Amino acid sequence: MRTDVEIRVAGAEDWPLIWPFFSQIVEAGQTYAYPEGLTETTGRSIWMEEPPGRTVVAVRGDTVLGSAKMGPNRDGRGAHIGTASFMIDPTYAGQGIGRALGAYIVEACRADGYHGIQFNAVVETNTAAVHLWSSLGFEILATVPEAFDHRHHGLVGLHLMYRKL
């Protein structure tokens, strides 16, 4: 990754810079099972986490290149396992931003005391993501068959991926 990229906690002022690529990625229908016809308000409520979760951005100067969010995967007696989601602006794909955000989130979850990190729904055809998470120590625990309706490939599986911390 270029060394002029910084990862920091996102503030409300970052959301308008996240929404354009966030909405583009959801609309593409290849990676996220978010509601259809998502409005900017709903998108913000999905993406901008409240404590104990948080949302971060990868920035270069004033440009937001990608974002990630993290928090407990479940409430109450399941809250010691974390989860996270990632959105990289396709304009900046292939620059190592997903990897930098992934590594940051793993360390942030460790620092927050989570025992492990669970990704609930990694689309099996999103091989770049599957390879990235595998390289960061995640393993596929299961694949729910045909659980995602991919815009181009039709029904494909969703991986549950997990990494112990």
Q: Kindly state whether residue 94 participates in binding its own copies, applying the rule CB under 8 A.
A: no
Min dist CB 60 to its own copies, Å, is 31
| Interacting residues of 102 by C-beta distance below 8 A, sequence separation 6+ | 68, 86, 132, 133, 136
Check whether the bond before 52 is cis (ω within 30° of 0). Answer: yes
Q: Kindly state whether residue 145 participates in binding its own copies, applying the rule CB under 8 A.
A: yes
- Alpha helices, DSSP H only, in the chain? 15-28, 40-47, 97-111, 127-135
Min dist CB 147 to its own copies, Å, is 5
Measured from the Cβ of residue 61, the count of other Cβ atoms closer than 10 Å reads 8
Single residue of 33, 93, 107, 135 touching its own copies by CB under 8 A:
33
Single residue of 121, 125, 136, 165 touching its own copies by CB under 8 A:
121
Q: Kindly state whether residue 52 participates in binding its own copies, applying the rule CB under 8 A.
A: no
Closest by Cα among 101, 98, 69, 63 to 84: 69
Compute the C-alpha angle 95/141/136, nearest 5°: 25
Q: Kindly state whether residue 155 participates in binding its own copies, applying the rule CB under 8 A.
A: yes
Is beta strand 81-88 parallel, antiparallel or unpaired with respect to 6-9? Answer: unpaired
Single residue of 54, 103, 120, 165 touching its own copies by CB under 8 A:
120
Single residue of 8, 74, 131, 153 touching its own copies by CB under 8 A:
74
Between 1 and 81, name the residue whose CB sits nearer to its own copies.
81
Min dist CB 133 to its own copies, Å, is 15
Q: Which residues bind its own copies (CB under 8 A)?
A: 26, 29, 32-36, 73-81, 115-116, 118, 120-121, 141-151, 155, 158, 160, 162, 164
